[in-house]
Structure 1
């Protein structure tokens, strides 16, 4: 379960929420961001009533996450993740193709591959600098 707090929530509202979570045998994992505060609930959340949590002062909305890896699950996000790389945007509704060698071995090899990657239509050259299994 991921609980998103209102921007205007108070410290006492957060403490009350964390206490309610603990009372049900779960552990709150609070993330205080610059513009968003979320509480990830760790444990068996079946005893937590979403409606009761949603009704607490300071709570914006509650998402019941059914997948593992709650913090990186798309269920915990309000919008798709995007990453800016130079003039390019990775993620969201943008399609971007990356290509390159598994491991960079020389400047000449990298330049030949870079030209082939560009010619094939890929936008980003990627390459590994270290291969633990073979380096």
Structure 2
């Protein structure tokens, strides 16, 4: 249940609605909007005295959301959401390009890549300090050392940073060093992690699970928003199908479909979606043409010797060329860089 307040509603009227929600044993979430306050009532809606709430001063209407994901549904925010992080907007007219290595390997490595992706036009630096690996013997990331390098380099170069978090116990530490949390595909239904990320109120990139339906994906986002965190960026990174020649199968349908269903911005990950560096440029162009709000791309000055995901990492030189192509396609669909 979403309660839409009149644009003229004052704080006392809003608090009266919240009191009604709490008295019924439900939880309220105050949602930001362009002109009006919306309040979500979470819990057993049948316990709400809806007629009484309709009659309260300042209430414009009550909305019954048809989808199981009430908070992230576009029904109550048709204009869409823009995530604003220290001067960078995600979901607006300008495309947001995030780039960097799969893993932070050293201070020198991360600095050089940061400088090169910034020069090419990226505004957010990606780089993992904690890594999910199939083998327990593979490189797992630098951990806290990687976080410290991330903070130092992103401040030195002047970029925002995005870092994956694998465990609820890591959230507090990662929040101290990075601007954006990232929940990877294998963690999409790690509900304790989603709740902790939600409580942090930090911007978060939520990647779609490689097995997930659209409803399952949006309900994962709902877990984060149910904790009061509206700063969610969806990321399509491909799904597992019968195709074995590529790492995943890119679901281009997801971009326009999710745009219709949710107000959250969505970006594409052509690196994990293909697993092959020579396919990354074409899929990047396809994402933008389909309406994605941006991209997250793995790049390295020496991709063949990257410690993780070398096969899908493009060179920083190739990334610079790709940025020019993205700008042209973005212009054709009304977007800028």
TM-score range, shorter chain: 0.5 to 0.7
Deviation at 1:89, TM superposition (A): 2.4
Rg comparison, structure with higher value: 1
Q: What are the Cα deviations for residues 59-99 of structure 1, in whole angstroms up to 9, with x where unaligned?
A: 134333324262x444444642231434x422223211111
Summarize the Cα distance change of 1:67–1:95 in structure 2 as closer, same or farther, 3 Å threshold: farther
Q: Which residue of 1 aligns with 2:103?
A: 103
- Report the counterpart of residue 123 of structure 1 in structure 2: 123
1:98 and 1:30 map into 2 onto residues whose CA distance is 30
Give runs of aligned pairs for residues 1-40 of structure 1, distance below 5 A. 1-6=1-6, 7-9=8-10, 11=12, 14-15=15-16, 18-19=19-20, 27-29=26-28, 31=30, 37-40=37-40
Q: How many residues were matched structurally?
A: 129
Within the alignment, does 1:85 sit opposite 2:86 as a pair? yes
- Secondary structure in structure 2 of the residue aligned to 1:108: helix
1:108, distance to aligned residue in structure 2 (A): 1.6
Extract unaligned runs of 5+ from structure 2.
133-139, 144-337
Check conservation: 1:30, 1:37, Cα contact below 8 A: no
- Asked if structure 2 preserves the Cα contact closer than 8 Å seen for 1:98 and 1:124, the reply is yes
What is the RMSD computed on CA atoms of the aligned residues?
Answer: 4.1
Unaligned residue ranges in structure 1 (runs of 5+) = none
In 1, are the aligned partners of 2:26 and 2:41 still within 8 Å (CA)? yes
Which residue is equivalent to 2:112?
Answer: 112
SS of match in other structure, 2:96: coil
How big is the shift at 1:106? 1.3
For normalisation by structure 2, the TM-score amounts to 0.29
What TM-score do the two structures reach when normalised by structure 1?
A: 0.59
User: 1:94/1:55 Cα in 2 relative to 1: closer, same or farther (>3 Å)?
Assistant: farther
Alignment of 1:51-90 (within 5 A): 54=54, 56-65=56-65, 66-68=67-69, 70=71, 72-77=72-77, 79=79, 80-86=81-87, 88-90=88-90
Cα deviation, residue 42, structure 1: 2.0
